[in-house]
Structure 1
């Protein structure tokens, strides 16, 4: 009789068989678990109110003409409901592969990328694209989104992925028929992808949009995150690229002309003249950047801080010196006096008086108590686009090309965040209302408007830091890095587009040197070269505007106090030894001018500044800066 080998070893064989089966099952389970763990992020536990959807569908007068409805992230029973709701249309089930767990929000929005491409070319992670069977016409894209409010739902990669692909399907539509996007979510959709001005109907957690497909296509051509530059450092916009190409041609002709001098040939100068004429016609014509120029403006804001008036005047001066003729709009509150408003108007700012918006999470009289007033920018609906700029920066090169960019376009700050010191905004009353509606919900990481805006606009577009270059030497900067920054601060013609002055502001220092040197914790912001750069712009201002940069007596005392502390500490930079020649030291425009006496009690907690400021509106000659 033939026996199986397992007959004598029945128990070991059974154990072996069970072990193989278990390991096979375990491997299958693990693979499934890995796959399904990514899928769980896409699951929406939203209970659909079909009555709400039915009400919306009934309002679509052209629904009987719908040929196709794309359904994304719905389960089988929900798909059946859709088929009953609009039975005559083709229901296209959209299959989307999930993003792997290793693609995090930090991968899409890294803190740093190699903008200059010195070591690598920055690239964004690849997100799976929707698979659409055949080429059906889709009139309505419906998507169901997760919204886990226990986590940072606005930075949920799965949620972002679903919205991005829903937008792509809509944007891929051919022909002239409108495409609607219906989003089911308890959390508001990405506000600068599906914009509120294009919201047709909202019923509870059902949002129906009819996007401008051309605008949507342009947005979707941008990198998916800040992992790549939206505006390459070497090509700033379509029009400037044309200018750069012409400049390159002219430079080559210059070289050819030099060689022609030796070769006996002529004609180079004539060709160069024609090229120069073309450059002027293209680069400096009224229509150079945009036919929408009258609907675009630079904007800044002053609230509770008249000390920034001088900075705003200098910023206006720098914009005109850089060649921009766009409108300048400034938001001010009631604390900005008529005297200061006169100076701002003379500098070219169009003044809009606003009511301040209190930060509900700020303490009374804190520095950030009223900084949510920046939300008023979205109420400037006379304009389609504005470039917001802080009042403590200079525009060194024309940045009008940024008007071609969508909301929100900005430089990186830290972590996954953008710096709101320079940003492109698209005014809209409904966006303003969105910001106000969630004012108590979101927690700002820094207690200010920048932190809040970063919670609302998590989808933003990175521009090179040269367009908002911070006057700051990081603690870890090597000497070579510091020298490079210093060269950038002083380069003429400028390499930087925008120089942003952190720490003590130049107009609040004596012009002789950067007063940040005299305060230990502010030395990281100190640069005499950048300081000199600001004063060069100041000196180009009309004399009647320079008066708004005079120093108050109290500020002179503060500067002297800091200088004495630096002397006492024997600061090695030695700036405290420099004799002040700034004429503003001996110029007084207040009733109280004996600032030295303030130092007798400086630093005492029970001492108050009783000096009063009696300012009469100066004789200001309103003068356009466009000619400067």
Structure 2
């Protein structure tokens, strides 16, 4: 309506000027045809209607760009997740429950403090929803190249590698890293694919997206906290995003606040078992941790035949020069007589209730081997190096306390050998293992 009034004003104004000029011409007695020279019309109407309309359109466009929700499409417009052809391995068919997302975001506190939000593997419609949920933040569509189509889980976890490195040094295939935006990211949101199969966790695309999210979080500079939000029907990798870092979960929405320093250490390790993180001939590494919060542990259950082995293991640890605590978990089948011998060897004895392997046959050797889950209940320690009771330590391995959970050696393809492993005790990890006890694969 304002534009129409303006056009009327210009038309009337021009007509009045023309009438006055016509009157002056009549007084002078000079007759001129009824016409308005082009230069006169343009001089009296500096902004004809068509020009005025263009000015209004351009002005409105500029205002819209300045005050619309900020989405960075310039440096990341090539993101394959949003505008390019999709790789079916990365496609997630999970419907996002935006009410759950909103409830999780409310746990972040003051949303105005969140300057940048990185979005990975979301489509156009979902990006629009993010803009509506947090309109004051800058939303950045993260660019990430797909993993090579020939990369498989078996290539990351081969059945055999040259541990002695007699011929060559094994190297893992590489996963493309995301383009790190220049803008600070306070929240990184990722939508993960999930196949409805028993081996849903052994998925290259799912692994790739989580490692990419971890790299983005680890790239943070400064002392501001970084949160990771995953939308997935299955839990994220528990060794990369620990359950003790889980802030809240609502349905299929998981919010984590990771320790970025620990995350950086984990990302220095190779992905999979195709490459040794620690070559066998590597020299002993210096490590300075918190000895009071670290311990060696072993476990005895169901029989006393390994008591002598556990006593020898304790002596070998001490002879290697380690002064860390020694903790042994035993069940009711270990007699007081044998417990006294273990205590004399230096073990601190803790009694546990053993846990049965639901897939084992009755009286089989591995019927109660899930009792190792009790190690995660040793929460008075930050790190545990577990060793089987029949092992001997030939050189100091305290440097393994500097390795993240779970550090272990390969056993058979994607399965690892639990005879020696580094764990980080946590009650929530123990609960997670118990909740999914029927899904765990063992030899």
* Cα-to-partner distance string for 1:126-180 (whole Å, 9 max, x where unaligned): 2111124x50110000001111132511110000000000010011011110000
- Matched residue, 2:352: 354
C-alpha distance in 1 between matches for 2:214 and 2:284: 24
- SS of the residue aligned with 1:397? coil
Contact 1:236 1:401 in 2 (8 A): no
* Cα-to-partner distance string for 1:70-104 (whole Å, 9 max, x where unaligned): 00001110000000000000000012111122111
- Matched residue, 2:156: 108
1:311 to 287, 309, 324: 309
C-alpha distance in 2 between matches for 1:390 and 1:217: 30
Contact 1:71 1:143 in 2 (8 A): yes
1:445 Cα shift? 4.0
1:173 to 211, 216, 220: 220
Contact 1:231 1:237 in 2 (8 A): no
**Mapping of residues 416-565 of structure 1, within 5 Å:** 416-440=414-438, 442-446=439-443
**Mapping of residues 18-417 of structure 1, within 5 Å:** 39-132=87-180, 134-236=181-283, 238-239=285-286, 289-417=287-415
1:56 Cα shift? 1.1
C-alpha distance in 1 between matches for 2:372 and 2:92: 34
C-alpha distance in 1 between matches for 2:218 and 2:229: 14
Contact 2:289 2:401 in 1 (8 A): no
Query: Which protein is bigger by CA-based radius of gyration?
Result: 2
1:232 Cα shift? 3.0
- Provide structure 2 residue ranges, at least 5 long, that are not aligned to the other structure: 1-83
1:238 Cα shift? 4.0
1:236 Cα shift? 4.1
- SS of the residue aligned with 2:230? strand
C-alpha distance in 1 between matches for 2:361 and 2:177: 47
C-alpha distance in 2 between matches for 1:318 and 1:48: 54
C-alpha distance in 1 between matches for 2:435 and 2:273: 27
C-alpha distance in 1 between matches for 2:110 and 2:219: 20
1:115 Cα shift? 3.0
Cα RMSD for the two superposed structures: 1.5
- SS of the residue aligned with 1:39? coil
Aligned residues: 360
| Larger fraction in helix | 1
- SS of the residue aligned with 2:112? helix
- SS of the residue aligned with 1:96? coil
* Cα-to-partner distance string for 1:387-418 (whole Å, 9 max, x where unaligned): 10001111111111111101111112122321
Contact 1:183 1:208 in 2 (8 A): yes
C-alpha distance in 2 between matches for 1:427 and 1:336: 24
- Provide structure 1 residue ranges, at least 5 long, that are not aligned to the other structure: 1-34, 240-288, 447-628
C-alpha distance in 1 between matches for 2:442 and 2:290: 36
